[in-house]
Structure 1
Amino acid sequence: MTKAPRKTAEQLREQKRLCEKEKKPAMQSQKGKHLTLVKMKVAYKSWGFKLDPDDDKQREYIKSQGKAMSQCKMLLADGTVTPLYHSIRTGNTKPPNTSLKVIKARKEAGNAKKRATMIARGLGQRNHYEEETFEALLDVTGLRDVLEYHWVPDGDNVDVALKRENMAAGTYCASQLKASDTTEGGRFNFHVSKTDMETKYKGQLIIAIGFKRVNGKITVTQVFVLSSPDDLPGNSFCPMVDPKRDDGCAHLRIRMDGIEPYKVCKQTILEGVLKVPHHTLDDTCFSLEVNRNLAESTKTELIGFQYIKNALPASTTMTMASDKNKTVDFKLHRAGAALGISAKTASLHHKKADGSYSGFFFGVKAAPDSHKCDWVLVVYLDATRKIVEGFSAIKSSAVYTEANKGKNFRWNKSGQNKGVDYVLKKHKASDLPRLVDLMFEQRGGQQITL
């Protein structure tokens, strides 16, 4: 295995410089130190926020917060609210128009710090516990028998769509799952704040699950159910596991230590499902009104996912993967058979002198559990990156190899992939049903051709 070269001291200094320089966002200069509504509007707009244009509503909302203006938020055009003015001004929260270069530098620095902390504490990957803890909660409370649930695409703000029997036909509750392991005398850290609940998680039911692992098995110890930002006792949600004094989360805490608490938890979740807005399953999975503040790459992926779901043959159904951050994005089901599919959006590659591009690529990362993937379905979007115009279907074994790991998988528009003994065939978007038929027939060698 070839080791990646370490960053030089100069590269590390440059990364640190970027983080420090760009932490405080630029804003237009305003004379005078006194903060006014006009200055706040100018600042928020310069940071890329789309504000509600009604000044009277903005003044009333700021007044209702009962704080200094710098500690207030403003109303956005989509009905949500901005982060605190002070939080953005000091760099603790990044504005929407932060450059990709800065985001990458800050993310790398944050990940390096997180990795060091996790290693020092002897902790492993914590991003895959939501599925395990939720499944354990369904079993112990009996919710599995009365609650319909569907996992949504990886990268969404929503984790799972929930439905109980007395909800309107075809509607679901968007839910965000949080999980934190138990530490003796410590805290649960569910990584959710009041700002999160007012912005990207607005209108969602949050189910926060405290757990411990005993002999390799997940045991749910405490559950917290939140349907509104007002449910939070403070600005962040990090409740003590065993509070010694006043319990600020007593109104939310359900200790899962017997039959009665299980019943209380079940009823609390069923009631919570009715307290938040309901949406169709398609909107819960794909709508940007429900899933806010998504990365641009996720938005383009959702375009492909939605097209695939709506264009499948009548004999085929689609379910999104429950274990996130893995190779398989969704499964296709037909007559008792299931295929694991990795969907990749083709990006343009190799710009020519005339401004056009001669090739495509997609990234191949660590690809955990790639052995569970049967096919890679490549999605081609038009120039606007809004419309699906074609597909390619490749065997997973041709893409997820040790040689490709951590690299870009490239091919020319003519179809030839350098170093590979086949031509990558692009098919029209309308050919998707036939491609799916051939996937289930397992024909076509390394790729499917019509």
Structure 2
Amino acid sequence: MTKAPRKTAEQLREQKRLCEKAKKPEMPSQKRKALTFVSMKKAYVSWGFKLHPDDHKQREYIKSQGKSMSHCKMLLDDGTVTPVYNNLQSGITAPANTSAEVIKARKKAGYAKRSATMKARGLGQKNHYEKDTFEALLDVTGLRGVLEYAWMPDGANCDVALKSADMAAGTYGACELKASYTTDGGIFNFHLSKLDMETKYKGKLIIAIGFKRVNGKIRVTQVFVLSDPKDMPGKSLQPMVDPKLDDGCAHIRIRMDGDEQFKVCKKTILEGVLKVPHHTLQDTCFSLQVNRNLSRNHKTEFIGLQFIQNALPATTTMTLASDKNKTVDFNFNRGEESLGISAKTASLNRKKSYSGFMFGVHAAPESHKCDWVLVVYLDKSRTIVEGFAVIRGSAVYTEAKKGKMFHWNKSGQKKGVDYNIEKHPAADLPRLVDLMFEQRGGEQITL
């Protein structure tokens, strides 16, 4: 992956200028002058719209809309209509003659504004509210201790595997978690469609959690439980916080405003887990029949994760991280000791000037929790684990390497460092795990 060059101050100013130009198109009429049919028509023409030439039809169409002229549309020559005049004048809608360059700049500005808003509100993927809201839900409903759960690997089609006492031994139900911040009114969106439930989430329980932050703590406000695509009210799950008329989500909505509703929620979730197909924990985590529509990279990563889990020493257990997209992918546990592990799949980089291995370092939030980076080597078919390398996390996750690729050649040498990355056979994994625990906190860079 090539890192995009940083924009210069001049480029940023030009982008801002284009955004402002697109949002505030030049008005042919004078300021603070009453909008007339003539000035409205002139404005649309200046914005690049090809209007229907019959002024009588245009006037009749504007009159039929029954609104003030600034909130009306005009007829186009191809039989369609223009956007609302006021939306164009205010910059909500881009004029027809807006260049591709300006449209691209407007989109970038919009994305930046949305990102800043999400961060300011404490929202955004980096906070992983699925985990936090689920933990809060377990506490408020009394499901903690009643419902056994295990977190899934990053990239799987579900977040957590659930098991109740009424299920067969060793089996779990896959569950996808959704979380959305709820205001005092309006709509909140879980970004879940009926098509999703019919495809990648088929056979999975959906628990959608609405929440607020009160004094820094999460308070669950509403919960929606779906076990079948037929439960979806329409094409997507975008409920009103407090619908005034008929509530299309009434059959799946649980308002968390008292002990009785807490009990209803607990019962509904326990019943929902029994309605979906059950699988072993191994299949729930890694099976491609359970996890559909995975990316090619995640399919490759699952091969390494499954091998690691099956080849661990008897004294060691592996728990997958609940916080997705952070540095630590899973933990090795031995008694009260725990190691944070970042798993990477070595990709072969073939170039005329260089031939070796690499993996991406990217942003790496919470890299201080990573003790070791466990590198997986696959064969040419990318289906069989050939070997492993182990590198101390502090040697990989540095400020200088963030957003870059970590390279080394086939001999194990890495330019600019005084250590070699040794490739160990796949069968040596139990010995390497023992060394990870022994060398924790030491000076040795690789094993």
Instruction: Give the TM-score category using the shorter length.
Output: 0.7 to 0.9
The residue number in structure 2 matching 1:147 is 147
Aligned partner letter, 1:126: G
Aligned partner letter, 1:288: L
Partners of 1:222 and 1:215 in 2: how far apart? 18
Does residue 317 in structure 1 map to residue 317 in structure 2?
yes
* Secondary structure, counterpart of 1:439 in structure 2: helix
Deviation at 1:113, TM superposition (A): 5.0
Partners of 1:321 and 1:110 in 2: how far apart? 34
Equivalenced residue count is 348
Cα distance change on mapping 1:421 and 1:324 into 2, 3 Å: same
The residue number in structure 1 matching 2:172 is 172
TM-score, scaled to structure 2: 0.74
The residue number in structure 2 matching 1:335 is 335
Contact 1:317–1:332 (CA under 8 A) maintained in structure 2: yes
Aligned partner letter, 1:222: Q
The residue number in structure 1 matching 2:443 is 445
* Secondary structure, counterpart of 1:180 in structure 2: strand
Cα distance change on mapping 1:408 and 1:211 into 2, 3 Å: same
Q: How does 1:31-430 map to 2 (within 5 A)?
A: 113-120=110-117, 122-127=120-125, 128-352=128-352, 358-430=355-427
* Secondary structure, counterpart of 1:421 in structure 2: coil
Partners of 1:448 and 1:5 in 2: how far apart? 33
Superposition RMSD on alpha carbons, in Å?
Answer: 2.2
Cα distance change on mapping 1:226 and 1:141 into 2, 3 Å: same
Cα distance change on mapping 1:120 and 1:126 into 2, 3 Å: closer
Q: What 5-or-longer segments of structure 1 have no aligned partner?
A: 13-107
Partners of 1:165 and 1:252 in 2: how far apart? 24
Partners of 1:189 and 1:282 in 2: how far apart? 32
Of the candidates 414, 428, 432, which is equivalent to residue 431 of structure 1? 428
1:100-156 CA distance string (max 9 Å, x none): xxxxxxxx9989754432325644443210000000000000101210000000111
Aligned partner letter, 2:407: R
Aligned partner letter, 2:368: H
Could you say which structure has the larger radius of gyration?
A: 2
TM-score, scaled to structure 1: 0.74
Deviation at 1:352, TM superposition (A): 4.1
1:392-439 CA distance string (max 9 Å, x none): 001000000011111000001100011111000000000000000000
Contact 1:416–1:424 (CA under 8 A) maintained in structure 2: yes
Partners of 1:148 and 1:248 in 2: how far apart? 32
Deviation at 1:189, TM superposition (A): 0.6
Aligned partner letter, 2:7: R
The residue number in structure 1 matching 2:57 is none
Partners of 1:430 and 1:421 in 2: how far apart? 27
> Would you identify which runs of 4 or more consecutive aligned residues in structure 1 move more than 6 Å?
108-112
Partners of 2:130 and 2:332 in 1: how far apart? 23
The residue number in structure 2 matching 1:101 is none
Cα distance change on mapping 1:275 and 1:235 into 2, 3 Å: same
Cα distance change on mapping 1:201 and 1:256 into 2, 3 Å: same
The residue number in structure 2 matching 1:100 is none
Partners of 1:224 and 1:433 in 2: how far apart? 43
1:277-316 CA distance string (max 9 Å, x none): 0011011100111111111111111111100000000000
Greater displacement, 363-372 / 440-449: 440-449
* Secondary structure, counterpart of 2:144 in structure 1: helix
The residue number in structure 2 matching 1:5 is 6
Deviation at 1:185, TM superposition (A): 1.1
Partners of 2:112 and 2:432 in 1: how far apart? 41
* Secondary structure, counterpart of 1:140 in structure 2: helix
Partners of 1:112 and 1:446 in 2: how far apart? 46
Partners of 2:226 and 2:7 in 1: how far apart? 44
Partners of 1:194 and 1:446 in 2: how far apart? 51
Deviation at 1:445, TM superposition (A): 3.4
Contact 1:435–1:448 (CA under 8 A) maintained in structure 2: no
Cα distance change on mapping 1:111 and 1:286 into 2, 3 Å: farther
Partners of 1:299 and 1:175 in 2: how far apart? 19
Aligned partner letter, 1:348: L
1:331-383 CA distance string (max 9 Å, x none): 00001100000000001113349xxx720000011100000110000000100
Cα distance change on mapping 1:291 and 1:133 into 2, 3 Å: same
Deviation at 1:274, TM superposition (A): 0.4
Contact 1:146–1:164 (CA under 8 A) maintained in structure 2: yes
% same residue: 70
Cα distance change on mapping 1:198 and 1:380 into 2, 3 Å: same
Contact 1:118–1:124 (CA under 8 A) maintained in structure 2: no
Partners of 2:249 and 2:117 in 1: how far apart? 29
Aligned partner letter, 1:391: F
Partners of 1:366 and 1:227 in 2: how far apart? 36
Partners of 1:112 and 1:365 in 2: how far apart? 23
1:14-67 CA distance string (max 9 Å, x none): xxxxxxxxxxxxxxxxxxxxxxxxxxxxxxxxxxxxxxxxxxxxxxxxxxxxxx
* Secondary structure, counterpart of 2:326 in structure 1: coil
Partners of 2:388 and 2:366 in 1: how far apart? 23
